[in-house]
Amino acid sequence: MSTEISGSVPVIVWFRDDLRLADHPALDAAVTSGQPVLCLFVLEEDTERRPLGGASRWWLDKSLASLDRDLNRLGGQLILRRGDPRRILPEVAASVGATALHFNRRYDQAGSDVDDTLTAMLRQRGVAVVSHAAWLLFEPGAIQTKTGGPFRVFTPFWRAHRPHLAPKAQLRRRPETIAFFKTAVASEPLASFDLHPTRPDWSAGLAESWTPGEAGAKARLVAFLDDGLSRYAAERDVPAAGASSRLSPHLRFGEIAVARVAHEVMKAQDSGSTPVEAAEKFLAEVGWREFAWHLLSVFPDLATRNFQTGFERFAWQEDAVALSAWTTGHTGYPIVDAGMRELWQTGSMHNRVRMITASFLVKHLLIHWRLGEQWFWDTLVDADLASNPFGWQWVAGTGADAAPYFRVFNPITQGEKFDPGGGYVRRFVPELAQLPDRLLHRPWEAPPLLRPDPLLYPPPIVDHDEGRKRALAAFAERR
Partner DNA sequence: TAAATATTTAG
Partner DNA sequence: TAAATATTT
CB of 71 to DNA, least distance (A): 36
478 lies in the site for DNA, by CB under 7 A:
no
DSSP string, 293-309: HHHHHH-TTTTTS-SST
Q: Applying CB under 7 A, which part among 227-235, 269-277, 349-357, 453-461 lies near DNA?
A: 349-357
Q: Is 407 in the site for DNA (CB under 7 A)?
A: yes
Compute φ and ψ for 233, nearest 5 degrees: -60, -40
Instruction: Report the residue from 33, 112, 209, 351 that binds DNA according to the rule CB under 7 A.
Output: 351
Q: Which stretch binds DNA (CB under 7 A): 79-87, 106-114, 222-230, 412-420?
A: 412-420
Which amino acid would we find at residue 203?
Answer: S
Q: Which of residues 278-337 bind DNA (CB under 7 A)?
A: 285, 288
Distances (CA, A) of 376 to 301, 372, 468: 17, 6, 23
Measured from the CB atom, is 355 or 362 closer to DNA?
355
Amino acid at 299: F
- Is 288 one of the catalytic residues? yes
Which helix (H) or strand (E) covers residue 254, if one does?
Answer: none
Residue 171 sits in the site that holds DNA (CB under 7 A): no
Q: Please, which contacts does 278-285 make with residues 24 or more away whose CB atoms are closer than 8 Å?
A: 278/229, 278/230, 278/231, 278/232, 278/233, 278/234, 279/229, 279/232, 281/232, 281/233, 281/236, 282/229, 282/232, 282/236, 282/245, 283/162, 283/165, 284/158, 284/162, 285/236, 285/351
Residue 282 assigned as binding residue: yes
Which of 71, 334, 414, 432 is the binder for DNA (CB under 7 A)? 414
- The whole-angstrom separation of Cα 333 and Cα 301 is 33
Nearer to DNA, 107 or 333 (CB): 333
Give 154 or 344: the residue with its C-beta nearer to DNA: 154
464 binds DNA (CB under 7 A): yes
Question: Is position 285 annotated as part of the catalytic site?
Answer: yes
> Is 351 annotated as catalytic?
yes
Closest CB to DNA among residues 263, 350: 350
Distance CA 268, CA 245 (A): 14
Strands (E) in 402-446, as ranges, are: none
Nearer to DNA, 158 or 181 (CB): 158
Q: Which H or E element spans position 55?
A: helix 54-73
Strand partners, 101: 12, 129
C-beta of 192: minimal distance to DNA in Å?
A: 40
Span from 125-133, 302-310, 361-369, 410-418 in contact with DNA (CB under 7 A): 410-418
Instruction: Considering the candidates 14, 135, 288, 394, report the single residue annotated as catalytic.
Output: 288
Pairwise CA distance, residues 250 & 19, whole Å:
9
Environment class of residue 415 by beta-carbon count within 10 Å: exposed (0-12), middle (13-18) or buried (19+)?
buried
**Residue 392 bears catalytic tag:** yes
- Using CB under 7 A as the binding rule, whether residue 41 contacts DNA is answered as no
Which one from 280, 392, 394, 410 is the annotated catalytic residue?
A: 392
Number of residues that bind DNA (CB under 7 A): 23
154 lies in the site for DNA, by CB under 7 A: yes
> Is 413 near DNA (CB under 7 A)?
yes
Q: Given 14, 210, 293, 369, which residue is catalytic?
A: 369
HSE-up of residue 58 (Cα within 13 Å, Cβ side): 25
The interface region with DNA, picked from 9-17, 100-108, 303-311, 351-359 by CB under 7 A, is: 351-359
Q: Is 479 in the site for DNA (CB under 7 A)?
A: no
User: Which span (172-180, 263-271, 312-320, 398-406) binds DNA, by CB under 7 A?
Assistant: 398-406
Question: Which residue type is seen at 464?
Answer: H
Q: Cβ 62 to DNA, closest distance in Å? A: 28
Quick check: 151 binds DNA (CB under 7 A)? no
Q: Is 232 annotated as a binding residue?
A: yes
User: Residue 1 CB: number of other CB atoms within 10 A?
Assistant: 10
CA distance 96 to 109: 30
Window 181-240: residues binding DNA (CB under 7 A): 237
Dihedral over Cα of 341, 251, 303, 65: its sign:
positive
Binding mask 355-374 for DNA (x = CB under 7 A): x-------------------
* CA pair distance 56, 378, nearest whole angstrom: 7
Interaction between residue 445 and DNA (CB under 7 A): no
Asked whether residue 33 is marked as a ligand-binding residue, the answer is no
Q: Are 36 and 179 in contact (CB under 8 A)?
A: yes
159 is in an annotated binding site: no
The binder of DNA chosen from 16, 352, 364, 368 (CB under 7 A): 352
Kindly list the catalytic residues. Answer: 285, 288, 316, 351, 369, 392
Binding positions for FAD: 232, 244-248, 282, 382-384
Contacts with DNA by CB under 7 A lie at 154, 237, 285, 288, 351-352, 355, 394, 403-404, 406-410, 413-414, 417, 464-465, 468, 472, 476
